[in-house]
Amino acid sequence: MQLEDILTLERCHSRLAGVSKKRILTIISELLAETTTSLEAGNIFNALMAREQLGSTGLGNGIAIPHCRVPMCEDIMGMLITLEEPIDFDAIDGKPVDILFVLIVPEQEMDEHVRTLAGLAELFNDDDFCFTLRQTNNSEDLYNIAIMY
């Protein structure tokens, strides 16, 4: 999996203010809807919240990978976000989250969804990669670091 296949510069956001899990998922949904004509913010938000109700997507070590399948989604899409201040995300280690990679997948893409999640989990398990993302202060640098890894 190459991040450049699913990530774009306009879907990278450095140092967003998050406040809470629900609020950051709302912001994410609105930002994703702005980058595509086929998706509505409400549908994205509802799908993300439904997935979170099954169990937190907070992996630990300050990382979360919120993900879901969304009706009308045509292609796998990613969004990379670092937060200004860490927020509680009900992560498995109880630590707050400051890096999120959001994955939105077409409803029919079950196998690719699982493969992409596995690749993301491996990538975000790399301490050097996460350290570098945390030191980045602008969205363009965030994007360039992500696609070069």
Q: Give the start-to-end residue ranges of the domains of the chain.
A: 3-148
- Averaged pLDDT of the chain: 93
Distance CA 87, CA 99 (A): 10
- Between 111 and 84, residue with greater pLDDT: 84
pLDDT given at position 51:
95
Give the per-residue pLDDT at 1: 62
The whole model's pTM is what? Answer: 0.94
Active-site entry in 13, 21, 67, 113: 67
Fold of 3-148: Mannitol-specific EII; Chain A (3.40.930)
Reported as a pLDDT band with limits 50, 70 and 90, residue 7 is very high
Q: Is 67 a catalytic residue?
A: yes
**Per-residue model confidence as pLDDT tens digits over 24-52:** 999 999 999 999 888 999 999 999 999 99
Stretch (H or E) spanning 63: strand 63-64
